[in-house]
Amino acid sequence: MNSSTFWMPFTPIEAAKNPLRVASGQGSWLVLEDGSRILDGISSWWVNLHGHGRKEIAEAIYHQALTLEQVIPAGLTHGPAEALAEGVLSHLPEALCRMFYSDDGSTAVEVALKMAVQYWWNQGETRRTRFLAFEGAYHGDTLGAMSVGDRSSGFSDPFRPLMFDVAYLPWPSTWDNDEDIELKENAALKALDEALENHGDTFAGLIVEPLIQGAGGMRFCRPEFLLGVQNRMKAAGLLVIYDEVMTGFGRTGEWFSCVKAKTSPDIVCLSKGITGGFLPLGATVTTKKVQDAFLGDDSSRTFWHGHSYTANPLACAAGLASLRLMEKEPFRKFESWHRELGEALQDHPRIRRFRAMGTIAAMELLSDGSGGYFDASGPLLRKAFLDAGVLLRPLGNVIYILPPYCTTREELALIYETIAAVVEGL
Ligand SMILES: *Cc1c(COP(=O)(O)O)cnc(C)c1O
């Protein structure tokens, strides 16, 4: 077998020469071809919710495949698509009542952006094509999603001429015992006020990763801040888009961040955990208000957007099976575990800014490097964790844990012990 035909994502080609070969997955563990096991501390890039190899989801996919594997989704519908939409909506704020399916997180974001722009266009407001977004944001790698993401990492430099104009706001990143949080929040809200005052009539809306910026370094904000943003956006009559691709399905300790923050966005993007990590699927959820702007006989009002595999029945069946496992709310136990197990690490002289929310915990390693995604400590840490049998993928000097919900307290303790040992050994 040869891995040289598989061009890996987010991986320099030279660095990918000897990838680990995975044979199977069981619960929180991955089994390599050589028989060794590694503990999956990041839910395989944040998609796996209930552990690897969950029979309930595998069987749901199998039975659905024997019944109906795929059907053109324009003008035809099927049980799994409707049941999944209904099930997900029942856990979101009441105003959200309509679901548009796509393929992954990036397409869920593209749909949201296009929906927001056309919402205004259909009302004769053709100049409202700009978005407000946050420094440090990550919304995906397609052109539109990349355009609303942070541009300081350098990832998007070759594509600058292709990206559209976005107004960026500071992100009031916070952690345990943060004394400056109100100052940071006030500065960000002031920047929002100014943008709305000076350019308010150019914006369609604002996009935000609610409560936690993921790929930007597991940067938390407070619910109060999201409420402040919502109040200002509502007063200006603009749309608020929540990118819950990472935070959705229990990650923050509630079903969704918008529920936890007691806010009611106009559009919500979902993917990653939606099928329990079994099949790709994206969804963009919205309100009656937004949907109603697309009503009418004039065909120019229609949302002319779609993907070949929209509402794929297998993915929807997986999503339904995952939702049933979610209803036991296995995500609620983690925050207290993180706090108990993280306590010793918090006092370590090389660790700072510990934070935990729901199933996610993060901390920063004091390093000599630049900080940020390309901090030199990232690859070193990753290799040391793997050598110790734990799959963690630090974002530069930010070490984070984002476990599947089947993870036991003992397994989580093993992850913390490994972090402590690796940091100690640096
Ligand atoms: C991963 C992620 C995306 C992109 O999702 P893909 O499925 O990788 O395209 C978008 N937004 C957020 C917040 C994400 O974490």
Q: pLDDT tens, 8-53? A: 999 988 877 789 999 999 999 999 999 999 999 999 999 999 999 9
Say if residue 2's pLDDT is above 80.
no
Distance 322 CA to ligand 1 centre (A): 19
- Same-domain pairing of 37 and 158: no
Q: Do 417 and 369 share a domain, yes or no? A: yes
Average pLDDT over residues 400-409: 98
Q: What is the pLDDT of residue 3?
A: 61
d(CA 289, CA 111): 16
Asked whether residue 120 falls in the same domain as residue 249, the answer is yes
Indicate which CATH number applies to the domain containing 197.
Answer: 3.40.640.10
Q: Which two tokens stand for residue 418?
A: 């490994």
Residue 203 has pLDDT above 90, yes or no: yes
The answer to whether position 340 is within a domain reads yes
Same domain (yes/no): 223, 289: yes
Task: Judge whether 203 lies within some domain.
Answer: yes
Q: Are residues 108 and 252 in the same domain?
A: yes
Residue 256: pLDDT over 60: yes
- 412 has a pLDDT exceeding 70: yes
For residues 203-227, average pLDDT: 98
Q: Over 80: is that where the pLDDT of 370 sits?
A: no
Average pLDDT over residues 185-207: 98
* CA atoms lying within 13 Å on the CB side of residue 156: 22
Residue 269 contacts residue 242 (beta carbons within 8 Å) = yes
Instruction: Categorize the per-residue pLDDT at 369 as very low, low, confident or very high, splitting at 50, 70 and 90.
Output: confident
Angle at 47 between CA 59 and CA 400, to 5 degrees: 140
Q: What pLDDT, on the 0 to 100 scale, is given for residue 374?
A: 77
Residue 315 above 80 pLDDT?
Answer: yes
The closest of 358, 278, 352 to 318, measured between CA atoms, is 278
Tokens for 125? 């407001």
Nearest Cα to Cα of residue 270 among 260, 292, 288, 255: 255
Tell me what pLDDT residue 222 has. Answer: 98
pLDDT band with cut points at 50, 70 and 90 for residue 415? very high
**Ligand 1 binding pocket includes 134 (Cβ within 6 Å):** no
| Number of folded domains that form the chain | 2
Parent domain of 173: 59-327
The mean pLDDT value for 352-378 works out to 88
**Under a CB-based contact definition with an 8 Å cutoff, are residues 242 and 284 in contact?**
no
Residue 2 lies in a domain: no
Q: Which two tokens stand for residue 181?
A: 């949080």
Residues 246 and 360 reside in one and the same domain? no
Ramachandran region of residue 353, left (φ > 0), alpha (ψ -120 to 50) or beta?
left
Confidence (pLDDT) at 119: 98
* Structural domain includes residue 8: no
How many angstroms does the Cα of residue 139 sit away from the middle of ligand 1?
5
The residue whose C-alpha atom lies closest to atom 5 belonging to ligand 1 is 105
Which residues are annotated as part of the binding site for pyridoxal 5'-phosphate?
105-106, 243, 307-308
Give the predicted TM-score (pTM) of the model. 0.97
Q: According to the per-residue pLDDT averaged within each range, which of 2-11, 224-233, 340-349 is highest?
A: 224-233
Q: Among the three residues 327, 360, 377, which one is the final residue of a domain in this structure? A: 327
Q: Answer with the one of 327, 352, 379 that is the final residue of a domain.
A: 327
The response to whether residue 245 sits with its C-beta less than 6 Å from ligand 1 reads yes
Residue 126 alpha carbon to ligand 1 centre in Å: 28
Secondary structure in 3-state letters for the chain = CCHHHCCCCCCCHHHHCCCCCEEEEEECEEEECCCCEEEECCHHHHCCCCCECCHHHHHHHHHHHHHCCCCCCCCCCCHHHHHHHHHHHCCCCCCEEEEEEECCHHHHHHHHHHHHHHHHHCCCCCCCCEEEEECCCCCCCCHHHHHCCCCCCCCCHHHHHHCCCEEEECCCCECCCCCCHHHHHHHHHHHHHHHHHHHHHHEEEEEECCCEECCCCCEECCHHHHHHHHHHHHHCCCEEEEECCCCCCCCCCCCCHHHHCCCCCCEEEECHHHHCCCCCCEEEEEEHHHHHCCCCCCHHHCCCCCCCCCCCHHHHHHHHHHHHHHCCCHHHHHHHHHHHHHHHHHCCCCEEEEEEECCEEEEEECCCCCCCCCCCHHHHHHHHHHHCCEECCCECCEEEECCCCCCCHHHHHHHHHHHHHHHHHC
> Is residue 160 situated within a structural domain?
yes
pLDDT at residue 82, as a whole number:
98
Q: Which atom of ligand 1 is nearest to the CA of 213?
A: 13
C-beta 111 within 6 A of ligand 1: no
| Residue 48 within a domain | yes
Q: Within a domain: residue 355?
A: yes
pLDDT at 368: 76
Q: Are residues 29 and 76 in the same domain?
A: no
Instruction: Single out the residue in 307, 327, 347 at which a domain terminates.
Output: 327
Strand partners, 24: 31
How far apart are alpha carbons 28 and 402 in whole angstroms?
Answer: 11
Confidence of residue 5 (pLDDT cuts 50, 70, 90): confident
CATH number at residue 412: 3.90.1150.10
CB 48 near ligand 1, within 6 Å = no
Tokens of 73: 């989704």
The per-residue pLDDT of the chain, averaged, comes to 96
Whether 1 shows a pLDDT value over 70: the answer reads no
Q: Which residues pair with 134 in a beta bridge?
A: 169
Q: What is the pLDDT of residues 109-146, one digit of tens each?
A: 999 999 999 999 999 999 999 999 999 999 999 999 99
Q: Are 213 and 226 in contact (CB under 8 A)?
A: no
Claim to verify: residue 381 and residue 314 sit in the same structural domain: no
Domain identity same for 323 and 335: no
Task: Examine the domain organization and report whether 228 and 151 are in the same domain.
Answer: yes
Cβ neighbour number for residue 180 with a 10 Å cutoff = 10
Is residue 228 in a domain?
Answer: yes
Tell how far the Cα of 106 is from the centroid of ligand 1, in angstroms: 6
Strand-strand pairing, 22-26 and 29-32: antiparallel
Instruction: Look at 17 and 1; give whichever has higher pLDDT.
Output: 17
Residue 338 has pLDDT above 80, yes or no: yes
Q: With left for phi above 0 and alpha for psi between -120 and 50, is residue 69 left, alpha or beta?
A: alpha
At 4, the pLDDT band (50, 70, 90 cuts) reads confident
Question: Which amino acid makes up residue 10?
Answer: F
Are both 237 and 344 inside the same structural domain?
no
Q: Quick one: average pLDDT of 281-300? A: 97
Residues 35 and 153 in one domain: no
